[in-house]
Amino acid sequence: MLADCSEFADYLENRKGLSKNTQVSYLRDVEGFLDYLVEGELLDLTKINVKTIEGYFDWLESRHRSPSTKVRTLASLRCFFQYLVLRGTLSTNPAKLIHPEKTKKKLPQILTGEEISLLLEQPDIHDLKGVRDKAMLELLYATGIRSSELIQLNVEDVNLHTGSLTCKKETGARRLPMYPAAVAALSDYICRVRPLLINDAGGQALFTNLNGSRLTRQGFWKIVKGYAQKAGITKEITPHMLRHSFALHLLENGAGLKDIQKMLGHADISSTQVYLRLMDDENHFKEVYNSCHPRAKANSGLQR
């Protein structure tokens, strides 16, 4: 039995190259499995077989774990046992013989074009906070980046001259275009407002809180939720809904699935194909957008 999971954690980060969130999930799942083994006095990892793993999933079932949790747990255990094979502890991976439950993926929630417009109109651009918030909302919808990626942006990641943004991740970087209204809002914020907010704690952070430190994901979530309530949007809105809306609106207006995959930074196109299912939803809205984005050719008067 492993004394701890530190070596496995190193394997996930340096050999598998998984994201921080995935690493945390895998480690939590494996630690739960190891706790189950200890409780059952199954202390020899070389004795673990298919029946042992099936017993664990029966145990998860008795505790009403969701199908999606069990599917992820199986992925975590497969990775863990593969690590043990590479390390020489085991000769085969017993988790490979376990078949995952089929789960029906929930379709993502989407904002309509009208709701997007309402949301973007809410910040008061006559005060510092409003200018910053306007820039963040426009940027999120213009590029489809995750809220976690947005708060990690630095000033150097923005090129106002070319109207583009470089989004950096552990697995690489992607360069994304921005529509003119987003560039204008971002330019206003960077040139006029950010110098009044930033302090040493903020460093090179593109977006800061009103105390001058880098904005947190929780802080941004509250900002989005507040403007949604102000706009009278009744959906349970999250920052990720702007990412979903960005993707679907482009797809509805002719953008290719592979192009959207690259813009979203999806490693597997199956993650992008969920938007095709939304396209087939008979209750889904259909609007006419300009050049694959509803704000791509916004009134030139919005530019500054």
Task: Determine which of 56-65, 145-154, 288-297 has the lowest per-residue pLDDT on average.
Answer: 288-297
- Residues, the chain: 304
- Helix, coil or strand: residue 235: coil
- Helix, coil or strand: residue 134: helix
Residues 35-89 have pLDDT tens digits of: 898 888 787 888 889 999 999 998 998 888 888 888 899 999 999 999 999 988 8
> What average pLDDT does this structure show over 153-171?
90
DSSP-based helix, strand, coil % in the chain, nearest 5: 55, 5, 40
Task: Determine which of 6-10, 127-131, 164-168, 191-195 has the lowest per-residue pLDDT on average.
Answer: 6-10
pTM score, two decimals?
0.62
Please state whether 66 falls in left (phi above 0), alpha (psi between -120 and 50) or beta: beta
Q: Classify strands 164-169 and 158-159 as parallel, antiparallel or unpaired.
A: antiparallel
The conformation of residue 164, written as its DSSP 8-state character, comes to: E
- Is the predicted pLDDT of residue 301 greater than 60, yes or no? no
- Is the predicted pLDDT of residue 148 greater than 50, yes or no? yes
Q: How confident is the model at residue 2 (pLDDT cuts 50, 70, 90)?
A: low
pLDDT on residue 98: 85
Please classify residue 38 by burial: count the beta carbons closer than 10 Å to its beta carbon, then call 0-12 exposed, 13-18 middle and 19+ buried: exposed
Given CA atoms 187, 126, 141, 250 in this order, what sign does their dihedral have?
negative
CA distance 31 to 37: 10
> What average pLDDT does this structure show over 292-299?
54
Do the beta carbons of residue 243 and residue 260 sit within 8 Å?
Answer: no
CA angle 175, 163, 186 (to 5 degrees): 105
232 backbone dihedrals φ, ψ, rounded to 5°? 80, 25
Q: Which helix (H) or strand (E) holds 301?
A: none
Mean pLDDT of the chain, nearest integer? 85
Residues 252-290 have pLDDT tens digits of: 888 888 999 999 988 888 888 888 877 765 344 444 334
> What average pLDDT does this structure show over 153-172?
90
pLDDT on residue 61: 87
% of the chain at pLDDT higher than 90: 51
pLDDT on residue 304: 36
Catalytically active residues are 146, 169, 240, 243, 266, 275
Q: Classify strands 164-169 and 172-177 as parallel, antiparallel or unpaired.
A: antiparallel
- Is the predicted pLDDT of residue 245 greater than 70, yes or no? yes
- Helix, coil or strand: residue 82: helix
pLDDT on residue 195: 93
- Helix, coil or strand: residue 38: helix
Q: Which of 209, 213, 233 is nearest to 223 (CA)?
A: 209
% of the chain at pLDDT higher than 70: 87
Task: Determine which of 163-172, 187-196, 235-244, 282-291 has the lowest per-residue pLDDT on average.
Answer: 282-291
